[in-house]
Amino acid sequence: MFTDDRIFVFSRTGKTESGAVYPCMLSRRNGPYFIHSIEDISASLKDARIYPENSPEFTEAGDFLILRRSADLILRPRKFLRVLAEGRKLYGYSRLLYCPAIGDPYLIPVLAYAGVHVFDDLFVMEESKKGVLYTPLGKLRSDRISYDENMQYVGMLMQALRTSILNGTLRDLVEKYTMSAKAVEILRIVDEEYSMEEEKVFPVRTPFVYANSLQSLNRPDLVRYREKISREYVRPSGLEYALLIPCSARKPYSSSASHRRLINTLGSLRNNLHEIIVTSPVGLVPRELENSYPPRFYDIPVIGKWFEEEKTMILEMLGSYFARNNYKKVIAYIGDDLKFIESALPPGSEVIHGKLTDESGLKQLEMTLRDVKTSSRLDARSRLLMDMISQAAFQFGSWIVPYLENSRITMSYNQQMISVNGKVLLVYNDSLGKFTITKAMGELFLKEGRYVVSIDDFKPTANVYPVGITGVTEDIRPEDEVVIAHRDSVRGVGIARMPVLAMKTLKKGVAVKVR
């Protein structure tokens, strides 16, 4: 039996019943960093080379699943990943996956991300005999056998993997650790060919997004956000004019010096204006979502130049967005680096060229907006409520909007809350940029069958474990706000810690952290 401390995408970290930690590397020698023997699978080390083509792909061994022909399959990454995907469908989360003879340290992070949990030292032994020495900057040649040093290096790598899975930063580690062309190939195949499967298990938020490479464009959390903006998001009613503007290095954008200059110049003209920030790798960020994830939680190297992949992403988003959201007029206030978006703007749009630090350009924008005729005039409080409802709809779905009619914003201990008829339904967590659910709101979630974890007849306290779960709605992703219910009774609210399939099939590990 094993217990997961954390599942991140297809990777996981935890302990076996004997106290061994994973992900790990099996070693034939004693050392402080590795599992030295797991009775159920140690025998497989003896012949863990290339198996005949007609041999079974997987062998079950207690809590472990062995991909027998790993060393052969890894030579063809697309086929290797297809076999892994088939194994996940067949076995779910019920076993840990061991892949013999593919322990190349420069592939291990992406293979762990793809769902390999146990490696062995056969590859390391072979390379060490040839005088290959592993370093953080790649492989070096040595005039001696370097096995012990190499295993120490792999041990530190395994510890880094376990830590990154625990704290939700494995994706960042994998993107940084791309000294192997095959590692990049594997990550691209996972992102492009298994994107739907990957999205279902990727958390709705991580601590931060370090978008240091173009591969970050394909991060499932960023793709998920862009898809929601392009395919689902509906602009707040009453905001009939859109203003497209560039992003800023500082987040949230409105706290930056450049955006503050825009805000101060336009003043109350902004109350009826829908500001949309254009950025990469996030895409389009409506102003009311600038504090949410990922818009407030990403960083990207800025050189004043857009790569073709980024341009394509922005143009496609603009086309999809304006096909679904109509405005009386679209105004774009952009610099030279964003001129490429002009072709994607709706007919009749007005473009003003200038920077957010350009006083004359801002004055021209102000004069243009003073000529705008709008059918409604919103005061600041009404606009704030509208923005918060829009953010709640983006987080949970548009189904929530009718339940927030006649709502009002209240404050308690500097927290903004949305209340209806005196009942607090949603509490805004400013540090995380999201709403948390109250038990009163939980009844509406249960009624709609949204974000619900059904449990046996008990009162949840600190954690809910899979063994007590009787059902899960399919819309839940790790780190989502969820309602815990028994039949028609709300028993609590919390945060999902596992993918849906893991909640359904595992017996141990924290499925929901109860708030």
Instruction: Give ∠ CA 420-381-439 in degrees, rounded to 5.
Output: 25
Which pLDDT value is given to residue 43? Answer: 45
CA distance 86 to 88: 5
Taking the domain 220-370, which CATH number applies? Answer: 3.40.50.10630
Which pLDDT value is given to residue 44? Answer: 43
Tell me if the bond preceding 294 is cis, omega within 30° of 0.
Answer: yes
Please count the other Cβ atoms lying within 10 Å of the Cβ belonging to residue 212. 13
CA-CA-CA-CA torsion for 16, 18, 21, 27, nearest 10 degrees?
A: -120
Token code pair at residue 379: 């005061």
Whether the CB-CB separation of 494 and 512 falls below 8 Å is answered with: yes
Q: What is the pTM of this model?
A: 0.93
| Residue closest to 252 by CA, chosen among 387, 414, 418, 432 | 432
Which pLDDT value is given to residue 49? Answer: 42
Q: Output the DSSP codes for 237-269.
A: TT--EEEEEE--SSSSGGGSHHHHHHHHHHGGG
The Cα-based distances of 495 to 423, 453, 468, 478 in angstroms read 22, 10, 16, 8
Pairing relationship of beta strands 96-98 and 452-455 according to DSSP bridges: unpaired
Residue 434, C-beta contacts closer than 8 angstroms, at least 6 positions apart: 205, 292, 293, 395, 428, 481
Domain ranges of the chain: 2-201, 220-370, 390-514
Whether the CB-CB separation of 179 and 106 falls below 8 Å is answered with: yes
Whether the CB-CB separation of 446 and 485 falls below 8 Å is answered with: yes
Taking the domain 390-514, which CATH number applies? Answer: 3.10.400.20
pLDDT by position in tens, the chain (length 515): 899 999 999 999 999 887 889 999 988 665 434 443 444 345 444 444 444 455 568 888 888 889 988 999 999 999 999 999 999 999 999 999 999 999 999 999 999 999 999 999 999 999 999 999 999 999 999 898 899 999 999 999 999 999 999 999 999 999 999 889 999 999 999 999 999 999 999 999 999 999 999 999 999 999 999 999 999 999 998 899 999 999 999 999 999 999 999 999 999 899 889 999 999 999 999 999 999 999 999 999 988 899 999 999 999 999 999 999 999 999 999 999 999 999 999 999 999 999 999 999 999 999 999 987 666 678 888 999 999 999 999 999 999 999 999 999 999 888 999 999 999 999 999 999 999 999 999 999 999 999 999 999 999 999 999 999 999 999 999 999 999 999 999 999 999 999 999 999 999 999 999 99
| Residue closest to 486 by CA, chosen among 451, 446, 515, 441 | 446
CA torsion sign, 248 to 250 to 253 to 257?
negative
The structure tokens 């003043």 sit at 267
CA distance 299 to 280: 9
Per-position b or e across 265-292, b if 16+ CB within 10 A of its CB: bbeebbbbbbbbbbbbbbbbbbbbbbbb
CA distance 380 to 59: 64
Q: Output the DSSP codes for 358-424.
A: -HHHHHHHHHHHHT---S----HHHHHHHHHHHHHHHHH-GGGGGGGTT-EEEEETTEEEEEETTEE
CA torsion sign, 444 to 449 to 452 to 455?
positive
- Give the DSSP letter of residue 310: H
Which pLDDT value is given to residue 375? Answer: 63
Whether the CB-CB separation of 265 and 366 falls below 8 Å is answered with: yes
CA torsion sign, 98 to 102 to 104 to 107?
negative
Please count the other Cβ atoms lying within 10 Å of the Cβ belonging to residue 512. 28
Region class of 262: left (phi > 0), else alpha (psi between -120 and 50), else beta: alpha
